[in-house]
Amino acid sequence: MSLLTVGSVAFDAIETPFGKTDKIIGGAGTYIALAASFYGIDQKIISVVGEDFPKAMLDQLESRKVNIEGLQIKQGEKTFFWSGKYHNDMNSRDTLVTELNVLENFDPIVPESYQNADFLMLGNLSPQVQSTVIERMKNRPKLIAMDTMNFWMDIAMDDLKKTISMVDLLIINDEEARQLSGEYSLVKASKIIRNMGPKFLIIKKGEHGALLFHGEKLFYAPALPLEEVFDPTGAGDTFAGGFMGYLASTNDISFDNMKRAIINGSALASFCCEKFGTERLTMITEQDLTKRIEEFVSLANFDIVTSTSSTQRQTVS
Amino acid sequence: MSLLTVGSVAFDAIETPFGKTDKIIGGAGTYIALAASFYGIDQKIISVVGEDFPKAMLDQLESRKVNIEGLQIKQGEKTFFWSGKYHNDMNSRDTLVTELNVLENFDPIVPESYQNADFLMLGNLSPQVQSTVIERMKNRPKLIAMDTMNFWMDIAMDDLKKTISMVDLLIINDEEARQLSGEYSLVKASKIIRNMGPKFLIIKKGEHGALLFHGEKLFYAPALPLEEVFDPTGAGDTFAGGFMGYLASTNDISFDNMKRAIINGSALASFCCEKFGTERLTMITEQDLTKRIEEFVSLANFDIVTSTSSTQRQTVS
């Protein structure tokens, strides 16, 4: 199966309590494609960079089976740049610089060879760009997933709701779910959001794991408690990439397989936080990932036989 | 097996966004004993009330196999009273009134018949009272567990650390773990706290579940996402009571059985939040609890065969 990702390929400069970087490679599309590349699937990416973007990085994507025909290189223009500084608790950050550059007038091209992609991941971008890609696909993919952020809720809620109505799965964090729904309770928020269109909803809660909602079904995936979060930049995109890569490689969008996909995404995201930017992600081996997934199994696994234990219980009336 | 609980038996007045109560029955000891009573074990309680405390509540405890020989009734004195108001997000609250009354000079009596209790739960009280009870036991219980709160860290840290050094298991919330250890990362905090004495540590994270630490082992228990948290008062004590009641009834303090005990405690705590005070807790049937535990199994369960999935993965180097 093939995965088409739409997302920024960009430069980031990051400051955390542990240090700071110069301009390094970032962008939602980059993290998603790198994470999904663990699953040996054919990938395609729709994005845009300036002439200042290093060809070596594009070569690296191609070497991981990511087709870059839909990645536009704009001569005479500059790549999107974001700079941010994390607070001491690593749970919040300030944006220092946002230079849209090539993203300002991004018109996504969907090449002929992309039109039959099986899975579509819409990384965080303007909802207008996201819906345009869906409209330009010849066939509806088996699953369309979408990420977004509070920024678009603030300035483009109508466009955003239109795009949300077109997708199967929305992946957002807890604060975004609360803002989008106007409800503090995530259970209530999940109902309102799924009434907007998506049959599936994943709410990411950072160090507190992630929730998957579908119909009356609910899954709570733990996050691996980490000694140190060195740099959380890209962790959410890495999660989405691992999730979609796993789904595409198994070609199974059942609820039970989505659980497994979430554990895969969470495992990759936990690596992502260990170094700046994409550094750790590009060094993970198959053994590393297998071991990390086993840690998740051990972390979350428990064994209760309710019929046995209930015989020891008293009814209180 | 028998469980001895030390904890307040008290009056509360609670205000939440959903309503407010007059003086109702509360206190850590009450919640712990009621929750543990689901497991059909012999219980004993050490506490103190004033002459204003209703005899009907003491009768109710006795009807649930809670021996109250160690519960002192002080003639001419008044029962401990706490009043609090929850904020709209239900994650924080203001204390409106604290009347220590009988707790001010509480000298815990440990009757002869309590001296061989198998399990000891020290509910949140002054660390001085908690350590006195341990010292007055003839035999060391199989497991001594202890709850505490930030209040004691602020005013009696030395006493608190002494008491912590005497117990096997500490049960606190995430903010308390951070304050006690001086570390934001819960993984780092858990190491520092376990170096203070307890071999086991449970960190409660409210709506985000709970973590159990022991040696190199780690378990992440989910909390059941609730549509509404009506009143969280006593949820932490209910968790502890369910946890210790389950351990005592199974007489097994292995890590795997503690996982099951946490799920039981979490299930009872989720009921506790559905009504004011102890109201919901006293109405739960055996069927209710079994059904709720099955919800936890479904919530947390996933099935990954790492050796199979790894064959589909590419090594990135």
What's the distance, CA B113 to chain centroid? 24
Instruction: Give the chain A residue nearest B212 (alpha carbons).
Output: A299
pLDDT at residue A91 in the model: 75
Distances (CA, A) of A56 to A25, A63, A280: 11, 10, 18
The answer to whether B259 contacts A293, with C-beta atoms less than 8 Å apart, is no
d(CA A170, CA B87): 30
Position A88 confidence tier, pLDDT thresholds 50, 70, 90: confident
For each of chain B's 317 residues, which pLDDT tens digit applies? 999 999 999 999 999 988 999 999 999 999 999 999 999 999 999 999 999 999 999 999 999 999 999 999 999 999 999 999 998 777 788 999 999 999 999 999 999 999 999 999 999 999 999 999 999 999 999 999 999 999 999 999 999 999 999 999 999 999 999 999 999 999 999 999 999 999 999 999 999 999 999 999 999 999 999 998 889 999 999 999 999 999 999 999 999 999 999 999 999 999 999 999 999 999 999 999 999 999 999 999 999 876 544 333 333 33
**pLDDT tens digit sequence for A100-117:** 999 999 999 999 999 999
* pLDDT band, residue A306 (cuts 50/70/90): low
A contacts of B282 (beta carbons < 8 Å): 316
Q: Choose, out of B304, B307, B308, B317, the residue to mutate when testing the contact with A (most A CBs < 10 Å).
A: B304
CATH topology of domain B2-310: UDP-N-acetylmuramoyl-L-alanine:D-glutamate ligase (3.40.1190)
Buried b (16+ CB within 10 A) or exposed e, B158-167: ebbebbbebb
Q: Do A227 and B185 touch (CB under 8 A)?
A: yes
Determine the pLDDT at residue B23.
Answer: 95
Decide if pLDDT at A314 tops 70.
no
Q: Which residues of B touch A313 (CB under 8 A)?
A: 38-40, 286, 289
Determine the pLDDT at residue B306: 66
Look at residue A309 in the predicted model and tell me its pLDDT. 43
Residues of chain B neighbouring A302 (CB-CB closer than 8 A): 219, 221, 256, 259-260, 262-263, 300
Selecting from B34, B217, B304 the residue whose C-beta is nearest the C-beta of A297 gives: B304
Best of B60, B314, B317 to substitute, by most chain A Cβ atoms within 10 angstroms, is B314
Nearest CA in chain B to A298: B219
Structure tokens at B145: 């567990």
CB contact under 8 A, B208 and A205: yes
- Nearest neighbour of B208 by CB, restricted to A40, A187, A208: A208
Residue of B nearest to A264 (CA): B304
Write down the pLDDT at residue A308.
Answer: 42
pLDDT attached to residue A229: 87
Taking an 8 Å cut-off on Cβ atoms, the answer to whether A302 and B303 are in contact is no
Tell me which residue in A184, A209, A316 faces B64 most closely, judged by beta carbons: A316
pLDDT value of residue B71: 98
* Segments making up each domain of chain B, as ranges: 2-310
CATH number given to A2-300: 3.40.1190.20
Checking A184-189 for CB contacts under 8 A at 24+ apart, the result is: A184/B88, A184/B89, A185/B226, A185/B227, A185/B228, A185/B229, A186/A211, A186/B225, A187/B225, A187/B226, A187/B227, A188/B227, A188/B228
- Among partner residues B38, B298, B302, which is closest to A260 by beta-carbon distance? B302
